[in-house]
């Protein structure tokens, strides 16, 4: 089958979901992704969280291309985090101006920084201070108003960025409401950098339609859509979906690798492992029968969890013919 033209796909970072163990397993059993992005690294009381350092350490990552992401509200914080990335050998870094979570936005992190152009300009000085690093920016249209992103465009256009990833919602919306395609299109047309589209991507048809609508698009960044259907990127790249039996085989292999690696790493006993694996199912296969998901969520011990998962795969094979 001849290769059809596709745009690059990037796996978006989601805190608590796309850690190294998951990324490695996804790359092994599905792939189709050009770059995986780490959940943001931040400073907590001027220190790194040990789990963040572990997550970006090259020895723990086995994906084709990994881009670490940082979140900061002040330039000195960004410099400290960047020093860690440079020490680890990274030459590409993503800056988070998109996080919508209130605990961070109220402290001018992520999308909470967008209403303050002088603070954004101060933070982004890090880009010019480190020409040896290729920077990208992941952002929202604004926190309160789409005009916030347009006010920043002159600054962004002047910076030597690899690309700019835009999620066309406001920070205050978090993930609620519709994406704002009118303002996305206006930003895309005015931006001098390649624009990556991010937000509510769940099907190959969506990717194909957006690529036709925005021919200069630099690619797609997908988070929840890939967690829901780990085969989405592969289906887009190859131009066809996996057969149900093959899809189920790969999903089981993905699950089993993630389970085994968390079992070997976590030190909090069965309870911690059970919580981690329930989190694995938070987005996975949302269209599967709800009773199958419910049995996993309600499992109160590892044996009951493993029994519920075995029932899930049998039920999934029985009811799913296409994804």
1 in a domain, yes or no? Answer: no
Last residue in a domain, options 238, 261, 283:
238
Same domain, 258 and 230: no
Q: Are 58 and 43 in contact (CB under 8 A)?
A: no
pLDDT at 4: 65
Same domain, 126 and 271: no
Question: Within 13 Å of residue 246, how many CA atoms lie on the same side as its CB?
Answer: 10
pLDDT at 72: 98
Give the predicted TM-score (pTM) of the model.
0.95
pLDDT at 322: 42
Answer positive or negative: Cα dihedral of 79, 18, 184, 32: positive
Same domain, 187 and 57: yes
185 in a domain, yes or no? Answer: yes
pLDDT at 69: 98
pLDDT at 1: 36
Same domain, 258 and 201: no
Same domain, 256 and 185: no
Q: Cα torsion at 57, 254, 196, 172 (round to 10°)?
A: -90
pLDDT at 14: 95
Task: Please count the structural domains in the chain.
Answer: 2
Q: Are 64 and 27 in contact (CB under 8 A)?
A: yes
Same domain, 137 and 28: yes
Question: Within 13 Å of residue 234, how many CA atoms lie on the same side as its CB?
Answer: 16
CA distance 36 to 50: 20
CA distance 73 to 99: 12
231 in a domain, yes or no? Answer: yes
Q: Is 294 exposed, middle or buried (0-12, 13-18, 19+ CB in 10 A)?
A: exposed
CATH, residue 17: 3.20.20.70
Q: Could you tell me how many helices (H) and strands (E) the chain has, helices first? A: 15, 11
Q: Mean pLDDT per segment of 10 residues, for the chain of length 323 residues?
A: 76 96 98 98 94 97 98 97 98 98 97 98 98 98 98 98 98 95 98 98 97 97 97 96 94 98 92 95 94 95 96 86 44
First to last CA, the chain: 21
74 in a domain, yes or no? Answer: yes
pLDDT at 3: 53
Catalogue the E-assigned strands of 152-237: 161-170, 195-198, 219-222
pLDDT at 2: 40
Q: Which domain holds residue 62?
A: 9-238
Same domain, 286 and 181: no
Same domain, 52 and 96: yes
Same domain, 298 and 199: no
Same domain, 64 and 113: yes
Same domain, 93 and 125: yes
- Among 78, 157, 63, residue whose Cα is nearest residue 119: 78
pLDDT at 319: 74
CA distance 123 to 156: 12
Last residue in a domain, options 202, 223, 238:
238
- The Cα-based distances of 231 to 17, 111, 222, 245, 311 in angstroms read 16, 30, 12, 13, 21
pLDDT at 320: 63
Last residue in a domain, options 194, 222, 238:
238
Same domain, 110 and 256: no
Measured in whole angstroms, the distance separating CA 277 from the mean position of its chain's CA atoms is: 18
3 in a domain, yes or no? Answer: no
């Amino acid at each position: 089958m001849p290769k059809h033209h596709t745009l690059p796909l990037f796996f978006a970072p989601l805190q608590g979901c796309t850690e190294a163990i998951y990324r490695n397993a996804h790359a092994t059993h599905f792939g189709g992704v050009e770059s995986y992005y780490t959940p943001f690294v931040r400073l907590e009381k001027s220190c790194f969280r040990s789990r963040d350092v572990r997550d970006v350490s090259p020895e723990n990552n086995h994906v084709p291309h990994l881009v670490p992401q940082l979140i900061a509200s002040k330039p000195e914080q960004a410099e400290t985090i960047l020093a860690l990335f440079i020490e680890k050998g990274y030459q590409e870094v993503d800056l988070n101006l998109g996080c919508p979570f209130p605990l961070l936005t109220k402290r001018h992190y992520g999308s909470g920084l967008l209403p303050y152009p002088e603070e954004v300009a101060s933070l982004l000085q890090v880009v010019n201070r480190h020409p040896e690093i290729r920077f990208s920016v992941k952002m929202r249209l604004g926190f309160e108003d789409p005009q916030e992103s347009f006010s920043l465009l002159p600054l962004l256009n002047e910076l030597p960025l690899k690309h700019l990833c835009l999620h066309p919602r406001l920070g205050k919306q978090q993930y609620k409401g519709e994406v704002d395609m009118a303002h996305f299109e206006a930003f895309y047309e005015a931006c001098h950098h390649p624009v990556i589209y991010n937000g509510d991507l769940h099907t190959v048809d969506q990717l194909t339609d957006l690529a036709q609508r925005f021919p200069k698009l630099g690619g797609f960044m997908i988070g929840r859509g890939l967690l829901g259907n780990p085969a989405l990127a592969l289906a887009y790249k190859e131009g066809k979906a996996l057969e149900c039996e093959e899809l189920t085989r790969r999903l089981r292999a993905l699950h089993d690798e993630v389970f085994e690696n968390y079992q070997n790493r976590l030190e909090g006993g069965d309870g911690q492992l059970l919580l981690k694996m329930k989190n694995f199912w938070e987005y996975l296969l949302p269209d599967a029968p709800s009773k199958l998901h419910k049995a996993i969520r309600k499992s109160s011990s590892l044996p009951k969890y493993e029994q519920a998962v075995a029932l899930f795969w049998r039920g999934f094979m029985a009811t799913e013919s296409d994804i």
